[in-house]
């Protein structure tokens, strides 16, 4: 319903407009205003987990054709990531997104690829960050989102899934010496950003961090 939420708002934050969706709405006396915390939450999580700015990384997004993948890809473009690799089972689905990103970030190289191991091995070797935006890994019976042989040693690997805490992708990446992180930090920062929008002047991050820690 994020697209419908965008259309229902009187005013939309410019980044949410670029992302094409709204997930946080505030009902003010004079207007209904909308924001999107997906992209900013992802960027904040990457910077917290890996101590590097998103705009300094070439990024590969697995499942870029879905809603979460599109939001992550768009925010990478907004932050100026030099190279953005969009991977999806149906590569044709990526064409509109790729065109939009090229217009949004003309200095970024935008590449679209299928989820083909041979192609991914070549493309991922050029990336500093791999982000999984698919749902593969939530169940023990799920197939691997990416063969372990495709993961370049020493890169950063981020999985938007936070339950289980260590997915097969993260385990395979850690075994190759990669720094890894799950989606809990993104969930945290999305919540913090939304709370600040609803209650300006508040600083809830440590309370929310403690709350998440208590649920593990």
What distance in Å separates the CA atoms of residue 162 and residue 135, rounded to the nearest whole number? 11
Burial class of residue 84, CB neighbours in 10 A (0-12, 13-18, 19+): buried
Confirm whether 2 is a catalytic residue: yes
What 3-state class would DSSP assign to 186?
helix
Cβ atoms 63, 87 nearer than 8 A: yes
Q: Across the strands, what pairs with 26? A: 33
The residue annotated as part of the active site, out of 2, 93, 126, 176, is 2
Please name the residues in contact with 88: beta carbons below 8 A apart, sequence gap of 6 or more: 63, 64, 65, 69, 94, 112, 114, 115
**What Rg, from alpha-carbon coordinates, does the chain have?**
17
Token pair for residue 64?
């870029």
Hey, which residues are catalytic here? 2
């Amino acid at each position: 319903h994020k697209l419908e939420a965008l259309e229902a708002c009187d005013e939309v934050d410019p980044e949410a407009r670029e992302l094409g969706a709204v997930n946080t709405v505030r009902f003010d006396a004079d207007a209904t205003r909308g924001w999107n915390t997906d992209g900013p939450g992802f960027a904040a999580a990457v910077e917290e987990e890996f101590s590097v700015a998103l705009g300094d990384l070439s990024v590969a997004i697995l499942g870029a054709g879905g809603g979460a993948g599109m939001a992550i890809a768009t925010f990478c473009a907004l932050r100026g990531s030099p190279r953005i690799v969009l991977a999806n089972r149906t590569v044709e689905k990526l064409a509109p997104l790729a065109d939009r990103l090229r217009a949004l970030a003309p200095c970024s190289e935008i590449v679209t690829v299928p989820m083909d191991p041979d192609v991914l091995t070549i493309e991922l070797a050029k990336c500093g960050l791999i982000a999984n935006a698919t749902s593969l890994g939530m169940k023990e019976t799920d197939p691997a989102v990416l063969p372990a042989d495709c993961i370049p040693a020493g890169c950063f690997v981020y999985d938007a899934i936070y339950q289980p805490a260590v997915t097969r992708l993260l385990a395979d990446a850690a075994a190759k010496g990669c720094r890894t992180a799950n989606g809990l930090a993104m969930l945290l920062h999305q919540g913090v950003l939304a709370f600040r929008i609803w209650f300006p002047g508040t600083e809830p991050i440590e309370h929310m961090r403690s709350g998440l820690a208590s649920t593990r």
